[in-house]
Amino acid sequence: MKKILFSLVAIALFAAASCTVDEMVQDNETIIASIEAVSTRTALADAGDHYDVNWVAGDQITVDNGTKTAIYQTTTGGSTTGEFHKITWGAFTGDSFTGYYPSEIANGYLPFTQTYAAGNVFKVPMVSDPAVDLTNLRFKPVTGILKLSITTGIKTLKIKSIRVSADQGLSGSFTLVDGAAIVADDRAGVLLDCGDGVEIGGTATPFYIAVPANLYTGIRITLYNTEGRACVVKLQDNTSYSVRNAELREIKIAANSFSAPDNGGEALLCYGTAFNEALKQLVVPRKRSHVEDSVVTKIVFKTNDYTAGTVKVSNFDSEFPIYASLEGTVVTVTTPASSIRTAENACHMFAGFTLVEEIENINVLNTSATQDFSYMFSHCTKLKSVDLSRFETSASMTFAYMFSYCQSLKVIDVSKFDTSNALSLGFMFYHCESAETLPVGNFNTAKSNNFDNVFSDCWAVKSLDLSKWNTDRGRETRSMFNRCRALKELDLSHMSFASAELQTYMFYQMSSLEVLHLESMDCSRWTDMANKIHMFRQIPNLKDLYLGEKGYNTDSFKPSYFFSATDDKAGARTSSLSGSLTIHCTQKGADWLSKTNLRWINSGYSGMAPVPVKFVDYKTGAELTVTWPAN
């Protein structure tokens, strides 16, 4: 956004200067960059009442021609005018140019981390006026300077770093307004890195930090010493401190009390879809979150890291920035904070990274405030393991599709998940084909109304403990256990499914299932049987189906394809391999079931051999007699 703004300003100024000047096509290997004299009352170092800014050998500037950039570097210093030589490859031409110093601010961000310089500012952010002549760029400061004059009565005290935050942003994305850098709606602070430490004492020691011009309130300054202890100075809430562009504002601090910090701070991540898009756009510009990526193989989180990455992925009101960068096939997410809090909506965070095998250090994420985990790892088809031990999920209202198509995950340890507020578990483990165990026994599902496909296509799971699950509010249980091929017994004897409206394919193609307990299933209020079709279709090893007092004691429509279909192949249709099927139910339930296409199983159809179906009383075990209608 910044680059577009600068380009438009450059074009407008050039057009205003002359409409007849021919386009200047140039690719200078050497340019002259000068710093305009600053005559404001900044009272720094030995420069009298103003701060003289000079180039230093090794300084680099970025020049933007509106569509691309080039980097230039100087080998001399000590003057406001320097000769800079291009160090990037490739042609660089145009008719309007803008320069940025330090070079990294050309990406649109004022850095969170600055480096200490004795009696000076290490790098004063500057931008040149748009120019039609690349041979001479004139730079002006675009920030003010905060001078912290610090004293202490503690002997041998060294300052390791200083963090400053306020109610307004001190770093982050910015635009230029009247030559001053204006930070966007972002509350990130700024940190001054003092290297091995700067000794302070009874005489004030100055520390200089470049900050955007603004009227600041709620300023909080935290000093860290070389022993890791902190001194927190919070200026009065009702006191405002004005910092003007290219001017200095002094704040005096007496640092006499240091203690162990509560923590190193917490950064707030942007919304899940925005995070997903930012990472994918490191590979392909403008790629959206729903488009799969086939490049990134690893995602790494690093805290207490002051590296400024390629793109910012923190929320606008995060006190600390979070950056993401790509090197080879590895995405690294860095922040100077000690932990990262995920947003209320973390959906799609890692979705669609089809080649990612590892998400390293994911346990730095604080998920306690996240309400939406839907699609978080969806289609991470190569992901081999994920550490969920630190995930706090009590605030979450949906886990829909959270692990869908995580086809390589053998272990999904969700044993510590708190699902007490979850409304939807739909498709949560859909196509987790390699998962051998799913520790969901402690799930609280009392509020859940959607169990649609929750375990569908979990081919390798051999057992499920659902004894604490409550499905009373469940309106959708469609394909809930569809193609759970390794389950031999499923005990749902405590589940009523009284509110169920959609149950098609609920137990479809459970090829190993032998015993199914549904003693509490309440069918008394069911009216639309069209949404119950295929419930028990193609369960070839089923031997015993347990129903209770309210199991299918209904006079509603008798569904087709409830147990079988005319196109079912031999060996696939219900109970064809077990050789018989015993249904434990009431007489009324037996009468109803005998009128469904269960009769096709009992009599045989399309030339297939019959499979005897026997009904027994669910209480006494006595055999029940039914009259089978014609096919």
Q: Which amino acid is at 255?
A: A
Is residue 475 located within the same domain as residue 368? no
Give domain status of residue 458, yes or no: no
109 Cβ contact partners less than 8 Å away, ≥ 6 residues apart:
171, 172, 173, 174, 308, 312
Q: Is residue 450 part of a domain?
A: no
Please tell me whether residues 198 and 273 are part of one structural domain.
no
Mean pLDDT of 293-308: 92
| Cα-based angle 112, 304, 160 (whole degrees, multiple of 5) | 75
What is the C-alpha separation between 279 and 293, in angstroms, rounded? 10
How far, CA to CA in Å, does 416 sit from each of 172, 233, 438?
A: 36, 39, 12
Q: Answer yes or no: do 494 and 599 share one domain.
A: yes
Q: Is the predicted pLDDT of residue 14 greater than 50, yes or no?
A: no
Residue-wise pLDDT for 23-77, tens only, equals 445 688 999 999 886 544 333 444 444 566 788 889 999 999 988 899 999 998 8
Q: Which amino acid is at 607?
A: G
**Of residues 452, 310, 293, the one with CA closest to residue 383:** 293
Does the pLDDT at position 2 exceed 60? no
Assigned domain for 457 exists = no
* Mean pLDDT for the stretch of residues 263-277: 91
What sign has the CA pseudo-torsion 549, 615, 514, 435? Answer: negative
- Asked which of 254, 281, 305 is the last residue of a domain, the reply is 254
pLDDT at 91: 84
Per residue in 135-171, pLDDT (tens digit) is: 889 999 999 999 999 999 998 899 999 999 988 889 9
What's the pLDDT at 372?
98
Residues 193 and 282 in one domain: no
Give the strand order in the sheet containing 205-211.
205-211, 144-151, 248-254
Question: If DSSP states are collapsed to H, E and C, what string results for 545-596?
Answer: EEECCCCCCCCCCCCCCCCCCCCCCCCCCCCCCCCCEEEEECHHHHHHHHCC
Are residues 190 and 172 in contact, defined by beta-carbon separation less than 8 angstroms? no
Report yes or no on 588 lying in a domain.
Answer: yes
* pLDDT higher than 60, residue 363: yes
Contact 401, 426 (CB under 8 A): yes
In a shared domain, residues 132 and 219:
yes
Yes or no: say if 404 and 435 are a contact pair by the CB < 8 Å rule.
Answer: no
DSSP structure string for 14-75: HHHH-SSPPP-----SEEEEEE----S----TTSTTS------TT-EEEEE-SS-EEEEEES
Q: Which of 148, 145, 174 is nearest to 245 (CA)?
A: 145
What are residue 200's DSSP bridge partners? 157
Helix and strand numbers (H, E) in the chain are: 4, 35
Residue 453 pLDDT greater than 80, yes or no: yes
182 with 42, same domain: the answer is yes
**Mapping DSSP to helix (H, G, I), strand (E, B) and coil, where does residue 163 land?**
strand
> In terms of domains, do 240 and 309 share one?
no
* Dihedral sign, Cα of residue 18, residue 23, residue 24, residue 26: positive
Identity of the amino acid at 321: P
Altogether, the residues listed in the chain come to a count of 631
Find the domain containing 61 and state its range.
2-254
Any domain includes 297? yes
Instruction: Render 497-542 in DSSP notation, one character per residue.
Output: -TT--B-TTTTTT-TT--EEEETT---TT---GGGGTTTT-S-TT-
591 vs 187, more confident: 591
pLDDT band at residue 89 under the 50/70/90 scheme: confident
Q: Is the pLDDT of residue 443 over 60?
A: yes
**Res. 114: pLDDT tops 70:** yes
Q: In what order do the strands lie in the sheet with 180-183?
A: 109-110, 172-177, 180-183
Q: What is the DSSP string of 86-143?
A: E-S-S----S-BEEEESGGGGGSEE-SEEEEETTEES---EEEPPBS-TTEEEEEE-S
Domain total for the chain? 3
User: Is 543 a member of any domain?
Assistant: yes
Residue 179: closest CA among 102, 246, 108, 124: 246
Strand order in the sheet with 298-302: 311-312, 323-327, 330-334, 298-302, 358-360
Mean pLDDT of 9-35: 57
Determine whether 503 is exposed, middle or buried from the number of CB atoms within 10 Å of its CB (0-12, 13-18, 19+): buried
Kindly report, residue by residue over 374-420, the tens digit of the pLDDT: 999 999 999 999 999 999 999 999 999 999 999 999 999 999 999 99
Please report which confidence band the pLDDT of residue 1 belongs to, taking 50, 70 and 90 as the band edges: very low
What single string gives the DSSP state of each residue in 270-319? --HHHHHHHHHTTTSTT--TTS-BSS--EEEEESS-----SEE-B-TT-S
Query: Contact at 8 Å (CB) between 113 and 336?
Result: yes
Any domain includes 83: yes
Per-residue pLDDT tens over the stretch 212-267: 999 988 889 999 888 878 898 888 766 788 898 888 888 999 999 998 766 678 99
Of 207, 223, 254, which residue is a domain's last?
254
Residues 54 and 160 in one domain: yes
d(CA 204, CA 152): 8
Give the model's pLDDT for residue 554.
65
CA angle 610, 611, 617 (to 5 degrees): 135
Whether 288 and 425 share a structural domain: yes
Q: For 541-593, write each residue's pLDDT tens digit.
A: 999 999 998 888 666 666 778 898 888 888 899 999 999 999 999 999 999 89
- Which residues, listed in sequence order, are joined to residue 195 by a DSSP beta bridge? none
Distance of alpha carbon 134 from the chain centroid: 42
In a shared domain, residues 403 and 302 = yes
Q: Among residues of the chain, what percentage have pLDDT more than 70?
A: 91
Pair 98, 228 in one domain: yes
Q: Give mean pLDDT, residues 465-472.
A: 95
* pLDDT at position 50: 54
Which of 157, 153, 159, 255 lies closest to 202 in space, CA to CA? Answer: 153
Quick one: which of 456, 506, 503, 455 has its CA closest to 475?
503
Indicate whether 507 and 427 sit together in one domain: no
401 inside domain: yes
pLDDT for residue 37: 65
pLDDT band of 538, cuts 50, 70, 90: very high
Among residues 397, 422, 440, the one where a domain terminates is 440
